[in-house]
Amino acid sequence: MSNYRAPLADMKFLLRDVFKAEDLFARMPETSEVTEDLVNAIIEEAGKIADNLLAPINQSGDEVGCRYDDGVVTTPEGFKEAYKAYAEGGWSGLTGDVAYGGQGMPKVLSALIEEMYFAANSSFALYTILNTGATLTLSYHASEELKQRYLPKMYEGSWSGTMCLTEPHAGTDLGMIRTRAEPQADGSYSLTGTKIFITAGEHDLTDNIIHLVLAKLPDAPDGPKGISLFLVPKILVDDEGNLTGERNNVRCGSIEHKMGIKASATCVMNFDGARGYLVGEENNGLSNMFTMMNYERLSMGLQGNGLADSSYQIASDYARERIQGRAPNGPVNENQAADPIIVHPDVRRMLLTVRANVHAGRALSLFAALQLDIAKFHPDEEARNKAQQLVALLIPVQKAYCTDRGFEACVLSQQVLGGHGYVAEWGLEQNVRDARIAQIYEGANGIQALDLMGRKTVRSRGELLAVLLGEFDEFIQAQQGNAAMQEYLPALADCKQRLETITAEVIENASSNPEEIGAASYAYMELLGLSLYCFMWQRIMAAVLEARDSGGYDEEYLDGLLKTGEFFISRMLPKAAALEAEIRAGAKTLMAMSAEQFQSG
């Protein structure tokens, strides 16, 4: 019963009015031709694909799932045809290197498209983003020979890509991997080992699958510094980039039976002397793979936000139509037996919470994507360096906070429907199941929080945070002459002060007790995420006030945005004080119990 509608008006408002994207594109030579009209045309076409092609096969894909038969994986009905249409439309190479057949579009544009695709059909979207990430890594780190041989077909969508990191005994700690790569006389390598949880490791959507595999050379040093990256094709490719027809020694051993994303093949991949090719330098594979990881983690946040928006659409439609009980101040529909449930304050609490998080999450994702674009395309080195600093800080927060809030949004939306939310036909129980994985893969959210608190904050002694807080200051200063913003700005100033104070305390406490880093990490990630959502809402509200003055927008639409922002500030932002208190509680009560005391009675 899900009837997803791409939120094009909201997306266009963010790009044009909040982030002034066209002005930024014009300042970067490689994106100077990306005009507002071009962007609008692209996202409108992508919206049609999401609405009309992907959403209709979402629930059926979940019901059927992928089928495994002796190493062969078959996707559900409609997926192969949808992928063919996606590839023929040129979407596979949207952000790709123009030298090899890509279109060179900015990441902020593909971020909007990814959100739509995840909202409409998360399983399908996963096949697409893995290829995008693999081509990105190859374009940055592969030899010219490998680029010429593989990128054109991956950009055109006839071949697809994966990344193969995790092993049965090595998840977060990749330094423990056992997959081996033996050098061969012809310059290739023979890879042997097993990888698990490999999204799109085997399927029937493309003619070839190109695996990017982490493995260790025979003389590699121990730990993460001994990992190299290899390209391993499913079907071997000749020097001209054509399929030889010879199957490589890589095979899918099984697929996982999962809670959600059932139409996305999650594979066990066995490499048994598979021929591979080194990507980048020896023993630098983990660093090279992390080129892809920032983009993939951004995508996971977009998955959370997309499913949140899909869920909100179902819940808000239902709440305006379902009649139960009477409004607190008397009947709204006197000619009916009851009023629509949207009159009830608690239903509004749930809907407004979801709506406020969806808008802020989308804005934060675009803000992070714009930093990736600046870091890649901007002609000014200082601007690129600043953007890279912001990316380092923003990505772990965007991934973790948007996926946490996304899952919460799916559950709240399900609650709005009551018993109907628990029934499969409405689509919300699938959204809950599909959203849950986004908090886990591409680095579980606890790991993102630890990275943020430890490596990005304590180790840098707050240097990266200072760059972000400079953005807060710059915005506050720019709004000083805007009388209508003065009632909102103190909330952002409070966020800045709270972050400065608590960050300094954690850095000081960690100097004498390293356990303070992990003890503070999750609450700190939540505090920074909540503060960033406040920053995003302030920017949205300022843009609303400016748009009101200039005209051109429906007043009802703008008023709805402003009221949602006011709800966020008054009813959601106060959680910051509780998070601050949690961080201040420190490591003592977390670490007091012995391991044995965790046994159940």
Written as one string, the DSSP assignment of 509-546 is HHTT-THHHHHHHHHHHHHHHHHHHHHHHHHHHHHHHH
Residues 535, 503: Cα–Cα separation, whole Å: 18
Closest C-alpha to 161, from 64, 96, 245, 253: 96
- Our measurement of the distance from residue 244's CA atom to the centroid of its chain's CA atoms, rounded to an integer in Å, reads 36
Question: For 323, which DSSP code?
Answer: B
Partner residues linked to 228 by β-bridges: 215
Tokens 């500030």 sit at which residue? 569
Out of 429, 442, 516, 526, the active site residue is: 442
The amino acid sitting at 375 is A
Residues 167, 173: Cα–Cα separation, whole Å: 10
DSSP H helical ranges for 144-284: 144-156
54 and 119 in contact (C-beta within 8 Å)? no
Give the β-pairing of 159-164 and 67-69. Answer: unpaired
Tokens 């993102």 sit at which residue? 448
Q: What separation, in Å, do the N-terminal and C-terminal C-alpha atoms of the chain show?
A: 45
List the structure tokens of 26. 């014009």
* Phi, psi of 482, deg, nearest 5: -100, 100
Residues 586, 516: Cα–Cα separation, whole Å: 6
Partner residues linked to 372 by β-bridges: none
Residues 467, 528: Cα–Cα separation, whole Å: 13
Written as one string, the DSSP assignment of 416-476 is HTGGGGGSGGGSHHHHHHHHHGGGTSSS-HHHHHHIIIIIIIITTTTHHHHHHHHHHHHHH
Query: Is residue 411 within a helix (H) or strand (E), and if so which, with residue range?
Result: helix 381-416
Question: For 483, which DSSP code?
Answer: G
For residue 442, indicate whether it is catalytic: yes
Active site amino acids:
442
